[in-house]
Amino acid sequence: MKRLFLLFLLVLGSLDLAALKPGDKAAELPRLKFINGVQTPLALPLKQDVLRVVTFVLTRARGAEGTVGMLAALQRMYGSRLRQTVVTPDPESDALSLRGVLRNSGVAFGLDSSRRITLQYMAGSLLYPKSFVIDPDGVIIWSGETVDLGEMLQEYFSGKFDRKAAEKIAPMLEELQTLLRETSEPRMRALANKIFELSPAHPGALRIRLFSLENSSRIPQAWELLEERLKAAPRTGRLYFTAIDFISRYAYFRPRLGGVLKAFAAQVSDPQSRCAMAWELLRRFQYDLTALESACRLLGETPPADAGLRSLWYAAKARTAYLTGDLDGAVKFQKSAARPGQGKDPMLEYFEGAAKLGRKRP
């Protein structure tokens, strides 16, 4: 939390330039050296419904490899509907450490050695990594933290994205960030509420408000905000994961776990989200029957149709079988979780060993 606070302080420094924002024409990326892929024109209008995304990263930042890995995964998911470019102002010697993650991904990787393009988009902001989404007309329709890019793309390709709301939210979100430095609680609350009127579960506004409340030890108020957002957007799976994280860190709210999980099960039917929630419960809540029972129910008995998700499902089923005393079941499920060419599986060896020990008991 302290490291996050320091990052926010850095971000909130006064800026003399205005960063490009939703509604602006995209700026091209001239004279960049590409160490992976080729340059994609950003401002040039396209005939097909293809989104272009440019993401600015710092290669030495913690989580940089995870960020570009996520971008590569999004590229695989959306294929020809998406053209992505990663740009870094860092030296080539640093950037090379990330090139392998993007190789054969379809994501271009350019070096902005002059830092001119980075300055034009970021305007001195230190909120890295940050992504800009550009429509077929060459206009920026969304900008924000890269961690939220996947949710934005899902909304866009499902026809739920509101570009007018995004244009209105962008300047308010910038102001909300600056208010962190001033610790102006009434203004922050009012501004966040305006954003929530346009986007009831807006991830950036929620993160800022939760950070502000937790950092000032107003934990009950932070939980009230979460409950309020859950009521306003009950089908937004991300909110339940935020609530679970909150409960796992503050034991006082542990009695709320059952209610949150019941609502999640009723409102979120996506197999990937349900499987991910089961894993979170198994990982965060040891020796908690409510978490274990909920994980079992969320997983169910039928493997998901998606081949990429099945391995994760079987591994989670193996863990729940082990925790409920079904050691043979744990071995069976873990064997099904194995991927071709994976080699030795430490968890399978452990479950097999535990099953043997159990059979030796008098």
At position 314, the amino acid (one-letter code) is Y
52 strand-pairing partners: 83, 134
Q: What would the mean pLDDT of 244-254 be, rounded to a whole number?
A: 95
Helix (H) or strand (E) holding 52: strand 51-56
Which 8-state DSSP code applies to residue 122?
Answer: H
- Counting residues of the chain whose pLDDT is more than 70, the rounded percentage is 94
Average pLDDT, the chain: 90
**d(Cα 247, Cα 261) in Å, to the nearest integer?**
11
Over residues 53-59, the mean pLDDT reads: 96
The Cβ of residue 199 has, within 10 Å, a number of other Cβ atoms equal to 19
Contact 146, 130 (CB under 8 A): yes
Q: Is the pLDDT of residue 13 over 90?
A: no
Structure confidence at residue 48 as a pLDDT band (50, 70, 90): confident
What is the pLDDT, as a whole number, of residue 276? 95
Rounded to whole angstroms, the Cα distance separating 328 from 348 reads: 11
* Rounded Cα gap, residues 290 and 255, in angstroms: 10
Nearest to 179 by CA among 191, 168, 167, 195: 191
Tell which residue, 298, 288, 304, 242, has the closest CA to residue 267. Answer: 298
User: In which band, very low, low, confident or very high, does the pLDDT at 104 lie, cut at 50, 70 and 90?
Assistant: confident
Closest CA to 249 of 292, 280, 294: 280
Q: How many residues does the chain have?
A: 362
β-strand 33-36 against 51-56: which pairing, if any? Answer: unpaired
Query: Is the per-residue pLDDT at 159 higher than 70?
Result: yes
What are residue 34's DSSP bridge partners?
A: 110
Q: Name the residue among 116, 59, 127 with its Cα closest to residue 88.
A: 59
pLDDT at 8: 43
Cα separation of 32 and 109, whole Å? 9
Look-up: residue for tokens 């029957």?
Answer: 289
| Rg of the chain in Å (alpha carbons) | 23
Q: Give the angle 206-211-216 at the CA atoms, nearest 5°.
A: 135
pLDDT for residue 300 is more than 70: yes
Assess whether pLDDT exceeds 50 at residue 1. Answer: no
Q: What average pLDDT score do residues 9-14 get?
A: 43
Per-residue confidence at 17, pLDDT binned at 50, 70, 90? low
Measured CA distances, 347 to 194, 272, 275, 282, 300 (Å): 48, 22, 18, 15, 21
Q: Which helix (H) or strand (E) holds 178?
A: helix 163-182
- Please report, for the chain, the start and end positions of each structural domain, with discontinuous segments joined by +: 17-161
Q: What share of the chain is helix, strand, coil (3-state, %, to 5)?
A: 60, 10, 30
pLDDT digits (tens, 9 = 90+) for 192-234: 999 999 999 999 999 999 999 999 999 999 999 999 999 999 9
Q: Of 1.10.3720.10, 3.20.20.150, 3.40.30.10, 3.30.365.10, which CATH number belongs to 17-161?
A: 3.40.30.10
Both tokens of 352, joined, read 């097999």
Q: For residue 75, give the 3-state DSSP assignment.
A: helix
pTM: 0.86
**Is the separation of the CB atoms in 108 and 131 below 8 Å?**
no
Question: What pLDDT was estimated at residue 180?
Answer: 78
